[in-house]
Structure 1
Amino acid sequence: MAGAVRETGSYLFDNGSAHAAGQHRCLAAWLDPVSFGALRAGGVGPGMRCLDVGTGAGSVALWLAERVAPGGSVLATDLVPLPVPVRPGLTVLRHDVVRDELPPGAFDLVHARLVLSHLPEREAVLARLFAALRPGGVLHLLEFDAEYAPVLTVPDERARELYERYQRAKLRAFRARGSHQGWGRECAGALVRAGFTGVEAEVRIGTLAPGTPQLEMQLHNTWHLREALLREGLGEDELAELRGLFADPRFRACSNVVYAVRGRRP
């Protein structure tokens, strides 16, 4: 996931936060199996040149580096790169995919997870990623539909109402920064419009329950997004109540819908 989401002069998710490492750990535990399965199905192999946009803590970049050896390479980029273990063929670069140049036709495979939905310039970035691929190269995107998140079971109606207010506050905070949290359901169509062929999409949904990385990520969000949630009308006491709710075995909700989408540059 990208290390930061732009707001004028500030970031909503910041890799400098004390909570960033926990967030990336939860995302990796939840989404790496989905990403790795999609990359295998898309044909990753030795000698390939790969670009991992918004690499975060680097779990996908490290996995790719192992699969493209010997002879391949992985360029892992982020606005604020986190420390990533050294691997042969792996380069980590501070890079802004909106503003900084990418070499044209340089990559066999481009991967971006939870990046484009956060960028108001997502359609222009998609065109840049298309241009960075060689003919026949494959783009892999993983995105959420976070607008769909119904509650399944709660201890009481107050808990339901509080969780639903929390979800609405998060969406308002993201929208204020140009993020489209429902873009996952639209990204396959965006790839077609951008000129990609053979576009395929895999859709998954899970359950938020105590002990799952999906719900642990929500717990981290109450800390990581604390300032934004307070600005959107939640109180400190309500955030504390949410943290208690997320530990309650009676709580269940649907996870975000996960879309793993890929397309090929003709």
Structure 2
Amino acid sequence: MLTGNNDRLDSHQSGTVSFSDTLATLFDPTTIRHFEAFGVGPGWRCWEVAGGSAVVSWLARKVGVTGKVVVTDADASWASVPSRPPVERRVHEVGAQEPPGEGFDLVHARVALLHVPDRERALRSMAKALRPGGRLLVEDADLTLQPLICPDEYGPEQQLANRLRHGVRRVLAGQGADLAQGRRLPRLLRETGLHRVEADAYFPVTAPACAALEVATIRQVRADLVAEGLASDQDIDQHLSNIACGAMDLAAAPMISAWGRKS
């Protein structure tokens, strides 16, 4: 489901398929449902860590002219994208630098920690930035909780897809990704000192966006899969052709959302 280079998750663009668009299609409704439950509204100060444009736009509309949405990313070129109040963009490495402010009502990160070397420090930084009573929402996939791209493995196409998914996990693990990050989130949030920690999960079993995300993922790690002997070019071409036929039920890894409050 999710891929990246050795430094960070490339959630912007790979080939002709946008990771940000497919992630938004699959998971924005869940993220926004949590925001609504928190009561995000006028005057809120929010820190969005490497957030997608739709989530940032939603937050900006809700907080209004009296609020603020600080959006951070380690990619300097991304931060040059024009913004206007209440949105402020900054170059920032969440696992290596101090928070870009304090007293936030909400801090949110979705699939932002996959390639952060010190994930626990990043979580402590996000919790530190909250005001008393402020909420931290962290969302990450768990690629080992449900390791199959085709849960219904009934034919050779599905078997090939699942073999390639195993290869993708091997590549990501070799790059230092924590494939079980999602399931650890509730414990990690409690360890930062947050209270009233809760979590849920969303598991898309089949959707056009799941197929688009799989195509983008395979294209991005194709060279790694071949170089490490995990798949051949013929395997990959066949898998992409199978997806293009539109008859495969492709699942995204479960996205676990965990949240808590600062006392």
TM over 0.5: yes
One-letter code aligned to 1:96: E
Query: Which one of 166, 171, 174 corresponds to residue 172 of structure 2?
Result: 174
Offset at 1:82?
6.5
Task: Quote the residue 1:230 is aligned against.
Answer: 226
TM-score under structure 2 length normalisation? 0.88
Distance of 2:164 and 2:176 partners within structure 1: 19
Task: Quote the residue 2:65 is aligned against.
Answer: 70
Calculate percent identity across the aligned residue pairs: 28
Query: Which one of 210, 216, 220 corresponds to residue 216 of structure 2?
Result: 220
Distance of 1:253 and 1:14 partners within structure 2: 20
1:216-248 CA-to-partner distances (Å, cap 9, x unmatched) read 110111212222322332222211111122233
Task: Quote the residue 1:205 is aligned against.
Answer: 203
Q: Name stretches of at least 5 consecutive residues in structure 2 with no aligned partner.
A: none
Task: Quote the residue 2:55 is aligned against.
Answer: 60
- The alpha-carbon distance between structure 1 residues 5 and 237, as it changes in their structure 2 partners (threshold 3 A), is closer
One-letter code aligned to 2:71: A
Distance of 2:12 and 2:250 partners within structure 1: 27
- The alpha-carbon distance between structure 1 residues 72 and 11, as it changes in their structure 2 partners (threshold 3 A), is closer
- The alpha-carbon distance between structure 1 residues 249 and 103, as it changes in their structure 2 partners (threshold 3 A), is closer
> What is the number of residues matched between the two proteins?
257
CA-based RMSD: 2.4
Contact 1:153 1:250 in 2 (8 A): no
Distance of 2:244 and 2:14 partners within structure 1: 23
| Secondary structure, counterpart of 2:97 in structure 1 | coil
One-letter code aligned to 1:49: R
Contact 1:118 1:181 in 2 (8 A): no
Distance of 1:249 and 1:104 partners within structure 2: 46
Distance of 2:19 and 2:79 partners within structure 1: 12
Task: Quote the residue 2:252 is aligned against.
Answer: 255
Q: Write out aligned runs for 1:50-199 (5 A).
A: 50-55=46-51, 57-80=52-75, 81=78, 86-103=83-100, 105-147=102-144, 148-150=146-148, 151-153=150-152, 156-157=155-156, 159-199=157-197
Contact 2:72 2:79 in 1 (8 A): no
Q: Name stretches of at least 5 consecutive residues in structure 1 with no aligned partner.
A: none
Offset at 1:69?
0.6
Which stretch has the larger CA shift, 233-242 or 62-71? 233-242
Which stretch has the larger CA shift, 192-201 or 104-113? 104-113
One-letter code aligned to 1:241: Q
Distance of 1:31 and 1:84 partners within structure 2: 23
1:177-232 CA-to-partner distances (Å, cap 9, x unmatched) read 221122111111111122110111122212135xx212211011121222232233
| Secondary structure, counterpart of 2:85 in structure 1 | coil
One-letter code aligned to 1:259: I
TM-score under structure 1 length normalisation? 0.87
- The alpha-carbon distance between structure 1 residues 29 and 14, as it changes in their structure 2 partners (threshold 3 A), is closer
Contact 1:62 1:87 in 2 (8 A): no
Contact 1:149 1:256 in 2 (8 A): yes
